[in-house]
């Protein structure tokens, strides 16, 4: 937590001027005033006594005795009364001033705490992680909450930090109960309205149930300049108890009053949250009166006597400074209550002392006055004169004690009383002076922004306050050896600043004592029993007396605050020792604050440096640039003497590959260092992220081997972090301090660790870019090679487009080789198919030509059969006419029968030839049908092969299209390959067109073949039918032959059966007409078959011509 200090104000200067120590002169002045009062009272008493008549009537003894008694007793009573009266007023005034001073002191502490709180919220609201939009997006909510939690843990005041959006929703919060929406809370609404920091009056926290103060501030977007979030801190009021707990030991109680005049913090918890007027009615009324009046006339502090817990008490009230009250919009007060019996305890003690002394003295003087009246007169007169001098302020006056009687005792008591009064006044003045000086030193320390300023303020102010010759700060290292880091010394004495003092006995004898708060006062170093060694350490600086107090920070002994008296031995007063110890105590909190502030400034600077390094590393394009930026910028950020990158070899030996080193120190770049212990002890640790700081290599327990590796490079302290790339340890990022040992702060360790962490992704990116460039070059070469191979392939397979199927592409082991192999397979399949098609076409042509002769013969025989049948029909008609004339001439019938018999035999022979021709036609047609069917099957195979070729062409076209697309993606480098792919596509399209043309021809052949098969099947059926009709005709002719043979025997019956024969002849005529018609049809069918065979021959020759384009051998 960052603590800020209020600026010194004019009133402080005024206070310092008023309480400048006056020592003896002030004492004498006040004593003189007291003496004048005593002398005046004495004269008045004597004048009153001398005017009484009864005095004249008394005897001399009585007078002498009475006078002696009165002279012995009355001065004592009067002096005691006057001293008590004066001391009483002084004590009351001093007690009032002390209470008021304490109220102002606590008020200043309260103001300082409020300013610290205000400064903290300002710093938190300005953190880059909240104000920088780009950084805010990069850092996760968990990382933001970790920052807030760590801040709370390290803080003195807070128990909660949270960041809200403008709707009151939590964006990030420190560890603890999850916070709900806080939009309706006054600290959110106040910032939304005013856009300024807001500090609330204490209120009960709904999360903790504890009375707490809420502080909120706007978070301004660095880019837009607008508020886009609100940060809120919560401070339990019990935290203030730690600041003011010491009041009870000083005899008082503190109370913090808020703007509502309620008590919000007190040592007695039962008083918290009660109205001020309830516990302190008089104070409450007075405060309300002041607040109701002119604020400009309001006092800085107020002191009133009031009741507290049933007892009279002196109440001091401190009001916040007006400018701070307006700045924070808080009207808080600090109240200190001290019981009167405690505040005025010295007055009661003095009263009893005076009463006791007066009574004892009066009794002794009265008893001795009767016997020693004459002798006592002179001493009493001496006492009166001495008292008169004392009343005049001469506290150096001392009575001579000549005996041990009452007069001597009286003289001694007066001397003691005088010394005591003088001592009391001087002590009171010195205490007040030292309190103010301590307050001023504390305020100045609160203003310091660094440890050097703190030490400078302390030594300067302390030497002035004590009037000593030298004040210094002696700081320890880790071995309890010390160095003087701050000094204020008179011009006449030697300087000790920067001196290193080695006290071998200190760690063993004195560390624990000083840790426990020991303050050592040495009035004379030569008579204090110091060792000769110790005296020899002090003599070079002319030390005669010294005063030593410890400086502790967070419970640890940091060093010693020492003052020297060089001109003479010096007796150190208790007040000086206490003042010196209190001042040393104040150094600790001031150092804690400044150290924390310096750490925060360092952390902020390192965070900015880390951001710049990360950006620059991310922009680097090679490993050397990454390493160079890392070592150079890290050395500047850490203010180290050297930063190196130590890169491992495969055997875990290492080489310094990058270095940034100061001009005064040796260079390590290029050195190879082989640590034999590294593999066994440290590899796994560094792989797991080990970060190792060494503050002093000579006290860290390092081996001699390791020290010998570091000493050539003048290393005194180092910080080692691993560099991990893709999970592998590749090297170390190391910072060296060569000028001396160095305590590495946690922020510095975290910084170097984060830089080393950033190197890993940067190197991964650099390696990736290098790999991409190499891959691009290889890809470009591969594309050029593929283009060349593709051109070669095109040149090799170009004859295929001319029909040369004997070409084979060269097969290689690359992608083009795969395409070439596919082309070879496709061409081989196409060659076999074309070969089969050529064979089938030649076979069809030969078969067609062979069957064409038979079909021609069939057609001629069918025509001749038809002619014979027509002749037979004509003869049958003539026979019919002959039969009609049978009745006219039997002779003619016999001749006619003979002729008819011959004709029948000729018809029977013609019928046999007809049947044989028809059967031959039938067999020829069947054989032709079989061959035509085989031709159809061959054409179907050709169709399948053509489809296969078509699919190959489509696949080739698709491959060429994909190659064109890839070439287009490759840009200019793939243009040549795109040309090759277009040529391949063109060849594929030509192949597809050729296969389509072949497919059309094959389809046409299949269609015509099917027609021929159908026609042949029809012809076969008609031949079968003609065969049946001819067979029937033959049977009829056989019957005619049989009838003709019987004619000769049945001539006589011819007449009777002439009519029957006439009818039979008509039927024969009709049958023969049918036969003639069938014969004509058969002749026509044979002619059609002959024409079909001619067409089939033309198609086969055309197919053979098409296939002949391809070269397959």
CATH of the domain at 514: 3.30.450.40
Query: H-helix or E-strand containing 277?
Result: helix 276-279
* Total count of domains within the chain: 4
Q: What pLDDT shows up at residue 829?
A: 78
Q: How many CB atoms lie within 10 A of CB 554?
A: 10
Residue 299, SS3? coil
Question: Which residues is 231 bridged to in the sheet?
Answer: 163, 217
Percentage of the chain modeled with pLDDT above 90: 6
543 and 457 both lie in a single domain:
yes
Distance of CA 970 to the CA centre of its chain: 38
Distance of CA 1015 to the CA centre of its chain: 91
885 and 1033 both lie in a single domain:
yes
Higher pLDDT residue, 1075 or 543? Answer: 543
pLDDT surpassing 80 at residue 152: yes
1070 and 933 both lie in a single domain:
yes
Domain end among 599, 632, 650: 599
Write out pLDDT tens, residues 1034-1072: 676 667 666 666 666 665 665 566 566 667 667 767 776
pLDDT surpassing 70 at residue 482: yes
Structural domain contains residue 1000: no
Q: What pLDDT shows up at residue 972?
A: 61
Q: How far is CA 821 from each of CA 793, 827, 957, rounded to the nearest angstrom?
A: 11, 10, 16
Query: H-helix or E-strand containing 659?
Result: strand 654-661
Task: Please give the average per-residue pLDDT across 747-771, as a whole number.
Answer: 82
DSSP category for residue 822: H
455 and 425 both lie in a single domain:
no
**Structure-token match 């069938």, residue found:** 1078
CA angle, 590 as apex, 588 and 591 as ends, to 5°? 65
Q: Which of 699, 455, 443 is nearest to 560 (CA)?
A: 455
φ/ψ of 125, rounded to 5, equals -70, -20
Q: 860: which 2 tokens?
A: 């001629």
Give the model's confidence band at 955: pLDDT under 50 very low, under 70 low, under 90 confident, else very high. Answer: low
413 and 460 both lie in a single domain:
no
Q: Which of 590, 533, 535, 593 is nearest to 561 (CA)?
A: 590
Report d(CA 131, CA 698) in Å as an integer.
45
Domain end among 599, 628, 651: 599
Task: Please give the average per-residue pLDDT across 157-183, as a whole number.
Answer: 90
453 and 419 both lie in a single domain:
no
Q: What pLDDT shows up at residue 25?
A: 38
Judged by average pLDDT, the poorest of 133-137, 471-475, 935-939 is: 935-939
Q: 178: which 2 tokens?
A: 């999850």
Write out pLDDT tens, residues 409-422: 777 787 777 777 77
CA angle, 900 as apex, 895 and 905 as ends, to 5°? 130
Write out pLDDT tens, residues 276-327: 888 888 887 888 787 776 655 556 566 666 666 667 778 888 887 777 777 7
Look over the chain and give the mean of its residue pLDDT values, rounded to a whole number.
74
Q: Which of 873, 929, 855, 906 is nearest to 1083 (CA)?
A: 855
Report d(CA 484, CA 499) in Å as an integer.
5
**Structure-token match 């990030």, residue found:** 172
Task: Please give the average per-residue pLDDT across 935-942, as a whole number.
Answer: 65
Structural domain contains residue 415: yes
Higher pLDDT residue, 145 or 597? Answer: 145
Give the model's confidence band at 721: pLDDT under 50 very low, under 70 low, under 90 confident, else very high. Answer: very high
Q: How many CB atoms lie within 10 A of CB 1107?
A: 23
Domain end among 772, 799, 830: 772
pLDDT surpassing 90 at residue 455: no
887 and 938 both lie in a single domain:
yes
pLDDT surpassing 60 at residue 733: yes
Q: 27: which 2 tokens?
A: 């004492």
Q: What pLDDT shows up at residue 231?
A: 94
Report d(CA 417, CA 411) in Å as an integer.
10
Structural domain contains residue 563: yes
pLDDT surpassing 60 at residue 3: no
**Do the Cβ atoms of 967 and 985 come closer than 8 Å?**
no
**Do the Cβ atoms of 355 and 335 come closer than 8 Å?**
no
Report d(CA 185, CA 166) in Å as an integer.
12
Structural domain contains residue 169: no
507 and 463 both lie in a single domain:
yes
CA angle, 714 as apex, 763 and 483 as ends, to 5°? 120
Judged by average pLDDT, the poorest of 8-17, 232-241, 936-945 is: 8-17
φ/ψ of 1089, rounded to 5, equals -60, -40
φ/ψ of 808, rounded to 5, equals -130, 135
768 and 668 both lie in a single domain:
yes
31 and 78 both lie in a single domain:
yes
639 and 536 both lie in a single domain:
no
Structural domain contains residue 333: no
Structural domain contains residue 848: yes
Best mean pLDDT range from 361-370, 520-529, 1092-1101: 520-529
Q: What pLDDT shows up at residue 710?
A: 85
Question: Whole domain around residue 850: which residue ranges?
Answer: 815-946+1022-1107
Report d(CA 144, CA 149) in Å as an integer.
9
Percentage of the chain modeled with pLDDT above 70: 62
Task: Please give the average per-residue pLDDT across 949-961, as a whole number.
Answer: 62
pLDDT surpassing 70 at residue 761: yes
Structural domain contains residue 525: yes
419 and 452 both lie in a single domain:
no
Q: What pLDDT shows up at residue 393?
A: 67
Q: What pLDDT shows up at residue 764?
A: 78
């Amino acid at each position: 937590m960052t603590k800020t200090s209020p600026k010194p104000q004019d009133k402080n200067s005024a206070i310092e001027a008023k309480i400048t120590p006056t020592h003896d002169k002030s004492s004498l002045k006040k004593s003189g005033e007291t003496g004048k009062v005593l002398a005046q009272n004495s004269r008045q008493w004597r004048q009153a006594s001398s005017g009484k008549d009864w005095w004249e009537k008394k005897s001399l003894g009585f007078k002498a005795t009475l006078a002696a008694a009165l002279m012995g007793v009355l001065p004592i009573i009067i002096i005691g009364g006057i001293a008590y009266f004066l001391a009483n007023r002084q004590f009351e005034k001093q007690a009032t001033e002390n209470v008021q001073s304490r109220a102002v002191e606590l008020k200043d502490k309260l103001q300082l705490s409020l300013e610290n709180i205000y400064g903290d919220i300002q710093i938190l609201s300005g953190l880059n992680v909240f104000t920088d939009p780009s950084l805010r997006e990069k850092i996760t909510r968990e990382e933001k909450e970790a920052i807030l939690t760590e801040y709370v843990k390290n803080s003195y005041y807070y128990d909660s930090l949270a960041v809200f959006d403008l709707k009151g929703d939590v964006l990030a919060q420190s560890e603890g109960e999850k916070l709900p929406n806080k939009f309706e809370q006054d600290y959110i609404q106040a910032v939304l309205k005013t856009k300024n920091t807001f500090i609330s009056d204490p209120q009960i926290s709904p999360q903790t149930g504890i009375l707490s103060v809420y502080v909120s501030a706007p978070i301004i977007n660095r880019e837009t300049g607008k508020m886009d979030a609100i940060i809120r801190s919560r401070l339990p009021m019990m935290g203030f108890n730690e600041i003011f707990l010491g009041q009870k030991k000083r005899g008082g109680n503190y109370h913090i009053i808020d703007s509502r005049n309620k008590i919000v913090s007190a040592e007695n918890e039962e008083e918290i949250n009660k109205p001020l007027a309830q516990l302190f009615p008089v104070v409450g009324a007075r405060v309300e009166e002041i607040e109701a009046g002119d604020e400009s006339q309001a006092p800085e502090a107020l002191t009133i006597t009031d009741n507290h817990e049933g007892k009279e008490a002196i109440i001091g009230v401190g009001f916040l400074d007006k400018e701070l009250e307006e700045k924070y919009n808080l009207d808080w007060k600090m109240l200190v209550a001290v019981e009167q019996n405690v505040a005025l305890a010295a007055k009661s003690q003095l009263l009893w002392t005076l009463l006791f002394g007066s009574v004892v003295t009066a009794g002794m003087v009265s008893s001795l006055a009767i016997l020693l009246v004459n002798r006592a007169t002179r001493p009493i007169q001496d006492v009166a004169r001495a008292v008169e001098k004392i009343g005049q302020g001469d506290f150096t006056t001392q009575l001579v004690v000549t005996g041990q009687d009452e007069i001597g005792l009286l003289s001694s008591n007066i001397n003691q009383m005088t010394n005591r009064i003088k001592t009391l006044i001087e002590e009171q003045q010195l205490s007040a002076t030292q309190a103010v000086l301590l307050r001023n030193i504390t305020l100045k320390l609160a203003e310091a922004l660094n440890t050097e300023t703190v030490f400078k303020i302390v030594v300067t102010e302390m030497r002035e306050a004590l009037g000593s010759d030298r004040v210094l700060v002696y700081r320890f290292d880790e071995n309890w050896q010390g160095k003087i880091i701050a000094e204020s010394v008179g011009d006449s004495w030697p300087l000790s600043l920067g001196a290193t003092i080695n006290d071998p006995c200190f760690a063993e004898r004195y560390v624990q004592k000083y840790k426990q708060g020991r303050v050592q006062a040495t009035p004379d170093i030569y008579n204090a029993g110091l060792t000769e060694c110790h005296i020899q350490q002090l003599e070079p600086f002319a030390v005669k007396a010294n005063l030593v107090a410890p400086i502790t920070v967070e419970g640890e002994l940091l060093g010693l605050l020492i003052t020297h008296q060089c001109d003479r031995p010096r007796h150190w007063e208790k007040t000086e020792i206490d003042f010196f110890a209190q001042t040393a105590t104040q150094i600790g909190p001031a150092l804690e604050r400044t150290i924390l502030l310096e750490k925060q400034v360092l952390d902020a600077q390192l965070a900015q440096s880390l951001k710049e390094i990360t950006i620059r590393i991310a922009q680097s394009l090679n490993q050397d640039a990454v390493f160079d930026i890392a070592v150079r910028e890290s050395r500047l950020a850490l203010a180290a003497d050297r930063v190196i990158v130590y890169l491992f070899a495969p055997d875990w030996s290492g080489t310094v590959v990058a270095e940034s080193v100061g001009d005064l120190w040796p260079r390590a770049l290029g050195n190879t260092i082989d640590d034999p212990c590294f593999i066994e002890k440290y590899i796994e640790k560094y792989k797991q992220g080990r970060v190792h700081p060494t503050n002093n290599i000579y006290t860290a327990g390092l081996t001699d081997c390791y020290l010998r590796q570091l000493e050539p490079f003048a290393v005194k302290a180092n910080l080692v972090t691993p560099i991990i790339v893709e999970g592998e340890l590749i090297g170390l990022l190391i910072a060296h301090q060569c000028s001396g040992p160095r305590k590495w702060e946690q922020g510095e360790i975290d910084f170097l660790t984060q830089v080393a962490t950033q190197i890993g992704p940067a190197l991964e990116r650099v390696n990736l870019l290098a790999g991409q460039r190499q891959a691009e070059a290889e890809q470009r070469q591969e594309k050029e090679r593929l283009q060349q191979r593709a051109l070669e392939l095109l040149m090799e397979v170009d004859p295929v487009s001319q029909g040369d199927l004997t070409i084979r592409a060269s097969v290689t082991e690359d992608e083009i080789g795969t395409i070439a192999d596919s082309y070879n397979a496709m061409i081989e399949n196409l060659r076999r198919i074309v070969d089969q098609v050529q064979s089938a076409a030649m076979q069809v042509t030969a078969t067609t030509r062979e069957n064409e002769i038979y079909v021609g013969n069939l057609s001629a025989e069918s025509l001749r059969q038809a002619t014979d049948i027509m002749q037979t029909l004509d003869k049958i008609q003539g026979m019919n006419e002959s039969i009609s004339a049978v009745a006219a001439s039997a002779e003619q019938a016999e001749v006619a029968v003979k002729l008819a018999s011959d004709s029948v035999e000729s018809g029977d022979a013609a019928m046999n030839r007809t049947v044989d021709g028809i059967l031959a036609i039938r067999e020829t047609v069947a054989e032709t049908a079989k061959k035509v069917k085989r031709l159809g099957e061959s054409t179907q195979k050709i169709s399948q092969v053509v489809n296969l070729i078509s699919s190959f062409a489509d696949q080739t076209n698709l491959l060429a299209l994909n190659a064109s697309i890839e070439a287009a993606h490759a840009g200019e480098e793939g243009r040549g390959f795109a040309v090759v792919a277009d040529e391949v596509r063109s060849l594929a399209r030509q192949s597809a067109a050729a296969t389509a043309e072949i497919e059309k021809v094959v389809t046409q052949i299949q269609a015509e073949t099917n027609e021929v098969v159908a026609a042949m099947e029809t012809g076969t059926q008609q031949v079968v039918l003609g065969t049946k009709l001819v067979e029937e005709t033959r049977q009829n002719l056989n019957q005619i032959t049989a009838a003709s043979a019987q004619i000769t025997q049945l001539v006589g019956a011819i007449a009777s059966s002439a009519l029957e024969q006439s009818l039979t002849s008509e039927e024969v005529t009709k049958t023969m007409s049918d036969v003639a018609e069938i014969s004509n049809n058969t002749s026509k069918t044979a002619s059609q078959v002959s024409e079909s065979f001619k067409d089939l021959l033309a198609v086969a020759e055309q197919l053979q011509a098409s296939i002949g384009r391809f070269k397959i051998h």
